[in-house]
């Protein structure tokens, strides 16, 4: 690739990234997500020869180009971000040399740009499906069935989620998301507190118990995160709740912790506990990615890229769903950068082109030697 062509391609990638990032698309913001989908359709429809199908599930729109026949490659990504509307006002999109910064640059709008770039490098796309969902950042509650359907008819799944310092992600912990609420009885905190049943005190007991449920030796974490209680400073809280994040490398550990949640009993018999949530994503185990990883290493070498490393990470993604079906899945194929979900989020612009080349090369290799189905465990 000549320097002129490289410069032109880099300019196109940067302009596409700017359009996506400056189109704010927090999960649940239908207008912003639809605008991002319009951009993606403008770039992808000419390649597929047709606009994508908008699949509306429980009021949420997802964008899907299914391949005419099964057995090919599924490119999977998401257009939603964790950043609320108005973030651009204090955290604008900026470019400084190789770096582009702004909300959603790294997770995962640069990955979407790299995915489109990969499609443009292929001579044909009749054996490629593209699915861009809109609720990944909240656990994919409406898109999971569609993801699993698209993966089941594919021979492999490639996901341009952020890399880890350039490493692709060959294993991810599974996840559980829970909300535990305590329902007590309100009373005046000064006049007759004894007549109340303090929901906050009850939740405090439960949080301490849950915080001890992790197992560092197994890599299992149970982390209370967001909590709330009470209505006024002089009222015994009638209601309190806590949200809890669970991560584990094995399905057995996720099941163990889930059972603990369901066996919780109130310390104060006057308080009622209410539990919602559960196991959200199964683990993505390394054997589901290993063959694709070895192939990706070979492609990276043939492209003159640095040696491609593989990382095992705690964060979950939609690749957890596809790997659990036994479909070979390689995640973290997105560009280099840092700061996902953080104010310093940034992406390395030239690496977008490198990842496009890597993904396209992988698809070409998979056409020559389709991967074997995996027995997920």
Q: What is the pLDDT of residues 119-177, one digit of tens each?
A: 999 989 999 999 999 999 999 999 999 999 999 999 999 999 999 999 999 999 999 99
* Segment holding 242, helix H or strand E: strand 239-248
Identify the CATH number of the domain defined by range 174-281. Answer: 3.30.70.360
The DSSP letter of residue 244 is: E
Count the neighbouring beta carbons within 10 Å of the beta carbon of residue 120: 16
The C-alpha angle with vertex 134 and arms to 347 and 80, in degrees rounded to 5, equals 30
| CA-based nearest residue to 372, from 334, 331, 335, 327 | 327
Domain ranges of the chain: 3-173+283-368, 174-281
Please state, rounded to an integer, the average pLDDT across all residues of the chain.
95
Supply the pLDDT for residue 376. Answer: 53
- Alpha-carbon distance of 16 to 270, in angstroms, equals 57
Contact (Cβ atoms closer than 8 angstroms) between residue 23 and residue 32: yes
- Alpha-carbon distance of 168 to 286, in angstroms, equals 12
pLDDT of residue 299 exceeding 90:
yes
| DSSP line for 188-253 | ETTT-GGGSB-HHHHHHHHHHHHHT--BTTTTBEEEEEEEEE-SSTTEE-SEEEEEEEEEESSHHH
Q: What is the pLDDT of residues 192-213, one digit of tens each?
A: 999 999 999 999 999 999 999 9
pLDDT of residue 98 exceeding 90:
yes
Supply the pLDDT for residue 370. Answer: 83
- Alpha-carbon distance of 81 to 297, in angstroms, equals 29
pTM exceeds 0.75, yes or no: yes
Per-residue pLDDT band at 5 (split at 50, 70, 90) = very low
pLDDT of residue 308 exceeding 50:
yes
**Residue 347 three-state SS:** strand
Supply the pLDDT for residue 372. Answer: 81
Length of the chain: 377
> Mind spelling out the 3-state secondary structure of 315-344?
CCCCHHHHHHCCCCEEECCCCCEECCCCCC
- CATH architecture of the domain 3-173+283-368 equals 3-Layer(aba) Sandwich (3.40)
Supply the pLDDT for residue 315. Answer: 87
- Alpha-carbon distance of 320 to 275, in angstroms, equals 24
| CA-based nearest residue to 76, from 303, 332, 257 | 332
Question: For a pLDDT cut of 70, what percent of the chain falls above it?
Answer: 98
- Alpha-carbon distance of 240 to 33, in angstroms, equals 33
**Residue 76 three-state SS:** strand
pLDDT of residue 4 exceeding 70:
no
The mean pLDDT value for 93-99 works out to 97
The mean pLDDT value for 243-257 works out to 96
Worst-scoring range by mean pLDDT, 85-99, 243-257, 360-374? 360-374
Q: Given the DSSP bridges, would you call strands 337-338 and 329-330 parallel, antiparallel or unpaired? A: unpaired
Per-residue pLDDT band at 3 (split at 50, 70, 90) = very low
The mean pLDDT value for 91-115 works out to 97
The mean pLDDT value for 263-276 works out to 98
The C-alpha angle with vertex 14 and arms to 9 and 16, in degrees rounded to 5, equals 95
Supply the pLDDT for residue 2. Answer: 34
Q: What are the C-alpha distances in Å from 19 to residues 103, 165, 200, 358, 362? A: 12, 25, 45, 23, 27
Per-residue pLDDT band at 373 (split at 50, 70, 90) = confident
Count the neighbouring beta carbons within 10 Å of the beta carbon of residue 204: 17
Q: What is the pLDDT of residues 344-367, one digit of tens each?
A: 999 999 999 999 999 999 999 999
**Residue 4 three-state SS:** helix
Per-residue pLDDT band at 276 (split at 50, 70, 90) = very high
183 burial type by CB count under 10 A (0-12 exposed, 13-18 middle, 19+ buried):
middle
- Alpha-carbon distance of 198 to 364, in angstroms, equals 62
The mean pLDDT value for 215-231 works out to 96
pLDDT of residue 1 exceeding 80:
no
Supply the pLDDT for residue 137. Answer: 95
């Amino acid at each position: 690739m000549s320097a002129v062509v490289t410069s032109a391609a880099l300019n196109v990638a940067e302009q596409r990234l700017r359009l996506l990032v400056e189109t704010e698309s927090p999960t649940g913001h239908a207008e912003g997500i639809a605008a991002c989908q319009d951009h993606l359709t403008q770039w992808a429809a000419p390649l597929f020869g047709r606009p994508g199908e908008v699949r509306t599930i429980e009021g949420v729109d997802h964008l899907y180009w299914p391949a005419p026949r099964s057995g090919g490659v599924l490119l999977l990504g998401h257009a939603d971000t964790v950043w609320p509307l108005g973030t651009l006002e204090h955290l604008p999109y900026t470019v400084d040399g190789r770096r582009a910064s702004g909300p959603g640059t790294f997770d995962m709008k640069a990955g979407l740009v790299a995915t489109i770039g990969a499609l443009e490098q292929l001579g044909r796309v009749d054996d490629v499906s593209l699915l861009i969902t809109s609720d990944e950042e909240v656990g994919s509650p409406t898109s999971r069935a569609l993801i699993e359907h698209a993966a089941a008819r594919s021979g492999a799944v490639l996901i341009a989620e952020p890399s880890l310092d350039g490493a692709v992600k060959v294993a991810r912990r599974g996840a559980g998301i829970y909300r535990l609420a305590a329902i007590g009885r309100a009373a005046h905190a000064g006049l007759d507190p004894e007549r109340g049943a303090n929901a906050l005190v009850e939740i405090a007991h439960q949080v301490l118990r849950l915080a001890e449920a992790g197992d560092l030796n197994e890599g299992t974490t149970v982390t209370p995160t967001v909590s709330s209680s009470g209505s006024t400073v002089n009222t015994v809280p009638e209601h309190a709740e806590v949200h809890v994040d669970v991560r584990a490398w094995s399905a057995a550990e996720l099941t163990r912790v889930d059972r603990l949640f369901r066996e919780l009993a109130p310390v104060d018999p006057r308080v009622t506990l209410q539990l919602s949530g559960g196991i959200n994503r199964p683990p993505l185990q390394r054997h589901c990615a290993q063959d694709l990883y070895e192939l990706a290493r070979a492609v990276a070498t043939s492209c003159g890229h640095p040696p491609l490393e593989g990382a095992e990470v705690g964060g979950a993604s939609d690749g957890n769903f596809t790997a659990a079906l036994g479909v070979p899945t390689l995640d973290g194929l997105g560009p280099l950068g840092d700061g996902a979900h953080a104010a310093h989020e940034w992406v390395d612009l030239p690496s977008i082109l490198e990842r496009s080349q890597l993904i396209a090369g992988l698809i070409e290799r998979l056409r020559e030697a389709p991967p074997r189905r995996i027995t997920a465990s």
